[in-house]
Amino acid sequence: MMRDRSLSSRLFDAVNYLLFTLFCISVLVPFINALAISLSSHDAAMLGKVGLWPDGFHWEAYERLAYSKQFVRTFLNTVFLTIINTTLVIVLSLAAAYAMAHKHLIGRGFLFIVLIVPMYFSGGLIPFFLLVNKLGMGNTYWALVLPNIINIFYIIIFRNQINQLPQELIESAEIDGASEFRTLLHIIMPLVLPMTMAFVIFSAVAYWNEWFNVLIFIRDKELWTLQFQLRDILTSATLKDSELQKTLINNDALIHPNNLKMAALMLTVLPIIVVYPFVQKYFIHGQLVGAVKG
């Protein structure tokens, strides 16, 4: 029969629940307040009287963003770059890790050192900037794709996990005449799927929030990402879109800059919030698998 839990154990649980509750409140309250401001009237946003509930339901800020070709273009750019970059980084990392873990690869130890060194030491921002522009990728989509598609950390984690798999599986595939591609796709991939999905989430969130490379490489507004567009809105509180101004000439609705800022913030954050619950199980499973040492 189990004994009653000690006082220290119950106190520890109570403190944990309290800290997690405070943490959740600290995250949810600003988010709910931003949502309320985005839906409130001009006067309420101007006077700063909006709490956790909007002053009426006013959609003008969202309508203005929907009419902005610039905002829609940056949204589509971000979706495109997130899908392309995430796909490339996962495919290349998994393929490189499989090659690094293969027993027939000559010089595996040396190649591993070659990967480790640039993981900790880099040339710095200025050589990176000069190299990208020297290769002619400045102010193009290539500057937002190619520099980001190799993730050494992912390669090392995939390599370690493949090394922990039973080698008999790979050897049996070789005996049956399976190609390297078929072995990777049909044998290795299903076994490392939880970790792969965890890295997909990490990469997708990182690329969705991309703005720094846009800042240093991109000059054309048509190539902006959503986060950089949000940065511009938060600093200027306006949408610099000539077509939008023509559309809204006869629109008398007043929109406070704070309405516009919070509406842009919501449209930037909500896609990730909507997608995350559907992939949460893969994320948790992948974290647990990665935490187990063979």
Note the pLDDT of residue 293: 44
5 and 116 together in one domain: no
Domain boundary among 58, 82, 99: 58
pLDDT digits (tens, 9 = 90+) for 59-118: 878 888 888 888 889 999 999 999 999 999 999 999 888 888 877 778 777 888 888 888
For residue 192, what is the DSSP state? T
Global pTM?
A: 0.78
54 and 89 together in one domain: no
CA distances from 222 to 143, 240, 244 (A): 14, 12, 15
204 and 88 together in one domain: yes
155 and 33 together in one domain: no
* Residue with tokens 């839990």, as numbered in its chain: 5
Render 11-66 in DSSP notation, one character per residue: HHHHHHHHHHHHHHHHHHHHHHHHHHHHTS-HHHHHHT---SS-SS---HHHHHHH
How many domains, the chain? 2
21 exposure class (CB count in 10 Å sphere: 0-12, 13-18, 19+): exposed
161 and 46 together in one domain: no
187 and 262 together in one domain: yes
101 and 200 together in one domain: yes
Q: Which domain holds residue 118?
A: 61-291
pLDDT digits (tens, 9 = 90+) for 210-252: 889 999 999 888 889 988 888 888 777 556 554 444 444 344 4
pLDDT digits (tens, 9 = 90+) for 11-47: 888 888 999 999 999 988 888 888 888 888 777 777 7
At 53, list the tokens. Answer: 């509930």
262 and 190 together in one domain: yes
Say whether pLDDT at 289 is over 70.
no
Say whether pLDDT at 292 is over 50.
no
Closest CA to 100 of 173, 180, 156, 177: 156
